Amino acid sequence: MALLRFAARGKELVPGVFRQSVFPAVQVLGQKSWERHMSGHVSMVGRNFLTLKDFSPSEIQQILWTAADLKARIKGTGELYTPLVGKSAGLIFQKRSTRTRLSTETGVGLLGGQPCFLSPDDIHLGVNETVKDSAKVLSGFVDLILARVYGHEDLESLATEGSVPIVNGLSELYHPLQILADMQTLQDHFGNLRGLTVAWVGDGNNIIHSFMMGAPKLGVNLKIATPKGYETYPNVTKDAEELAKQYGTQMYHTNDPRDACEGANVLVTDTWISMGQEEEKLDRLKAFQGYQVTHKLGEVAAKDWVFLHCLPRKQEEVDDAVFYSDRSLVWPEAENRKWTVMAVILSLLKDHVCTTPKPDF
């Protein structure tokens, strides 16, 4: 039965009683709307997902809850849940990827939607056609665009010129989808996120940039070790330090990996040489000497420390003893890329109501 809520005066009548002549501003709330209201649900339908900087703590938690809900229902119980029937997603990939492509294609399909993959051979973004024109054309074909690009400005142009939600599948500045998967993995492992300390050992790249935008909002401390000359971008660092101050978390920068790992619950690294940096390989390998994650480095971490890596991994970044150990969470981390991208896409296209209990973040 619908509940009649009178927004003008904040009063409720007996369900089923309607007096528009007395209270003209009436909002009829169906069962799902009432459930969303009671759970504190915030609609993100129609939003762009370019960086976690744009999302509040409650919104990030809601996305993570949605990911956990989908995982429990679809994987855990085998529920057939297809809210995206009739919806399609265009997937622009300037850079190749195993995890981003497979997680998105299979995830959209599981939810009943149709993914449409566009490689550089299919669409030369900004070459044969301007980004502006591509955004307008694709907006007429699909309901959402996920783009994995080199320049972050291409994502911003798509968002400005397009009329459908844009999802950042990776740019040189941010990779927010990866951080959602990391946070879901840590939530599953530790039971909560608040108070954890994450140590970053590696390049000041898009992964740590996204950690810096999301971790403070979830109560997670960051200790960041990068070689001299490979620090995080100054503008990102400034924004992140303001977020840490706002949310009462710690953020610490150093050039000493052992210093960063001291007392940390999570050790994280990534590739030292990203796509497009191949010419810098020799210089980078020299600069990152001493940054390999090993059990020796883990000796100064918390007793319960675990390891994350977004993959693909090179042995100079982390040795086999850690990578294949019980401390390594890289396989569930990779799988959670699927549930988190599903949660993001679903949240931007539909108001999803979780049926599983909200995790204690």
Positions annotated as catalytic residues are: 310
- Measured at the CA of 122, the angle between CA 121 and CA 126, to 5 degrees, comes to 90
Which are the contacts of 180, defined by CB distance < 8 A and separation ≥ 6? 60, 63, 64, 67, 214, 336, 340, 341, 343, 344
Helices (H), the chain: 31-38, 57-70, 99-110, 131-139, 152-161, 176-190, 206-214, 234-247, 257-261, 281-287, 295-298, 320-323, 330-349
Q: By the 8 A CB rule, do 330 and 308 touch?
A: yes
Residue identified by tokens 């007392």 is 263
CA dist., res. 109 & res. 166, Å (int): 18
Which are the contacts of 350, defined by CB distance < 8 A and separation ≥ 6? 45, 83, 84
Q: What torsion do the CA atoms of 187, 43, 152, 251 make, to the nearest 10 degrees?
A: -40
